Amino acid sequence: MDKPQASRARDNGVYVIPVAFSDGGRIPVSKLELSLLGANRNAYRTVRDDDDLINLVDSLNAVICPGSPDITTPTYAPAITTTTAPSTATTAPVTATTAPVTGTTSLVTGTTTPVTGTTSLVTGTTAPVTGSTSSVTGTTAPVTGSTSSVTGTTAPVDATTTPVDATTTPDVGTTLPVAGTTASVTTTTPTPPACQGLADIVIAIDDSASTRRDAQGGGTEVAPGQFELAEYYIQNSLLNTENINIGLIAHSNTGRVLSGFSNDSTVLNASLTFTPQYSISNTGAGLDVSTDLHLDTGRAGADKFTILLLNSRTSDPFGTLIQASRARNNGVHVVPVAFSDSGSIPVSTLELRLLGANRNAYFTVRDDADLMTLVDSITAVVCPG
């Protein structure tokens, strides 16, 4: 949404009445965006299908008819002061692909070379090979009247398998299949350098109802990727300096302090065991508690950051907007990090931009298990120097 244009309309006495409709599913425009577009927070309407727009006639007439109480006293969203934060880029995870081995046992560099002069290999189908010549890395292997199956298994071949002469070195991040087996890819967690300046960092864990996951040992748990990210910052060499203090909060219906600012990993790790609320997502309540923690116990001269983890849009758009403005006005740089449960990102881009220290200081991933892929990008924002 072009917020300056919505403000321009209001400033010039133009009453905007947003009417959002869907194609039978969920409304595609967030309440926050509709509230900011409208003449006031109640001057918007929604229906589930465009066929239902006619049902809004009476409601719309009540707004646009002069003298309507809906628009006689419009309210406006508080002004937002933008603070420039370092520009960041999100890190995409490396995906390794395993190519199937077909018929013969040969070391191939992650791909399968089709048989010369016969039908090309097609995944999931069987290509007959009758007395033709197979060429793999310059080596000719005779094949006599057998059938090669392209389904990850090895078909019988009368001729003796000829090994590849050259040794192939795999590229970093790829999987080298050997004789029909799959080699595992080992990823290394990045270790950024210690921060050079003072910083107080609050990590705000979302424990709203949408974060409830089935635990491996039975029962439920809060989306575990959040704890992996928090534990990384607690245990990492980033904390091997007195420059960095970390505080922990949880937010759902209310915001709660789990741990005040500390660089003691034992204290911080112990505070990650708590009883989740699994309630609505009142993001503003979490921001309120986070800002209070910075103002009440933060160190003088330290940069103030809140890594705000989110799994759903806020239940109170205006209250959240007010708390985001309060954080900015008190020098707290909010870094929103939205994650999904393998679906679409549940928080709108507009909401993330209004929450963040600036319009680019937010991050998204498709699953909480992918939060660790953002470590370098988040650290570049919250680590002074």
Q: Which of 254, 256, 259 is nearest to 201 (CA)?
A: 259
Report the C-alpha gap between 246 and 267 in whole angstroms. Answer: 11
Contacts of 117 (CB under 8 A, 6+ apart): 132, 133
**Which pLDDT value is given to residue 358?**
72
CA 306 to chain centre: 16
Report the alpha-carbon distance of residue 96 to residue 110 in Å, rounded. 10
State the DSSP code for 282.
-
Q: Which amino acid is at 281?
A: S
Cβ neighbours around 13 below 10 Å, total: 8
pLDDT, tens digit only, all 385 positions of the chain? 445 687 777 777 787 888 988 876 677 787 777 777 876 767 788 887 787 787 787 778 777 876 654 443 333 334 334 343 444 434 444 343 444 434 443 333 344 444 344 333 333 433 443 443 333 333 334 434 443 333 444 344 343 444 434 343 333 333 333 333 333 434 444 555 567 789 999 999 999 999 999 998 889 999 999 999 999 999 875 555 678 999 999 999 999 999 999 999 999 999 999 999 999 999 999 999 999 999 999 999 999 999 999 999 999 999 999 999 999 999 999 999 999 986 788 899 999 999 997 777 899 999 999 999 999 999 999 987 6
Q: Cα(first)–Cα(last) distance of the chain, in Å? A: 34
Which one of 1.10.287.370, 3.30.70.890, 3.40.50.410, 3.90.230.10 gives the CATH number of domain 199-382?
3.40.50.410
CA 127 to chain centroid = 42
Residue 335's nearest CA partner among 368, 369, 360, 300 is 360
Per domain, the residue ranges of the chain are 3-64, 101-179, 199-382
CB 200 within 8 A of CB 298: yes
Instruction: Tokens for 235, please give them.
Output: 């245990």
Alpha-carbon distance of 320 to 356, in angstroms, equals 12
- CA dihedral over 77, 81, 85, 88, signed as positive or negative: positive
381/379 Cα distance (integer angstroms): 5
DSSP-based helix, strand, coil % in the chain, nearest 5: 25, 20, 55
Backbone region of residue 336 per phi and psi (left: phi > 0; alpha: psi in -120 to 50; beta: other values): beta
Cα-based distances in Å from 161 to 22, 121, 136, 146, 155: 60, 19, 11, 13, 12
Sort residue 147 into left (φ over 0), alpha (ψ -120 to 50) or beta: beta
| pLDDT given for residue 93 in this prediction | 44
**pLDDT at res. 32:** 77
C-alpha neighbours within 13 Å on the C-beta side of residue 40 = 10
Q: Would you state the pLDDT for residue 41?
A: 65
Angle (CA) 258 338 334, round 5°: 60
Task: Specify whether the CB–CB gap between 169 and 108 falls below 8 A.
Answer: no
For 175-200, b where at least 16 C-beta lie within 10 A, e where not — what string? ebbeeeeeeeeeeeeeeeeebeebbb
Q: Which of 311, 334, 344, 318 is nearest to 381 (CA)?
A: 334
State how far the Cα of 113 lies from the Cα of 350, in Å rounded to an integer: 48
Q: What is the pTM of this model?
A: 0.55
Mapped onto helix, strand or coil, the DSSP state of residue 148 is strand
* Close Cβ partners of 324 (under 8 Å, ≥ 6 residues apart): 80, 284, 287, 334, 354, 355
Three-state secondary structure call for residue 265: helix
What gap in Å lies between CA 9 and CA 6, rounded to an integer?
Answer: 5
Instruction: Name the token pair of 345.
Output: 């990102």
Residue 57: phi and psi, rounded to 5, are -55, -50
Given a contact cutoff of 8 angstroms between Cβ atoms, the answer to whether 164 and 106 are in contact is: yes
Dihedral of alpha carbons 76, 81, 87, 91, sign: negative
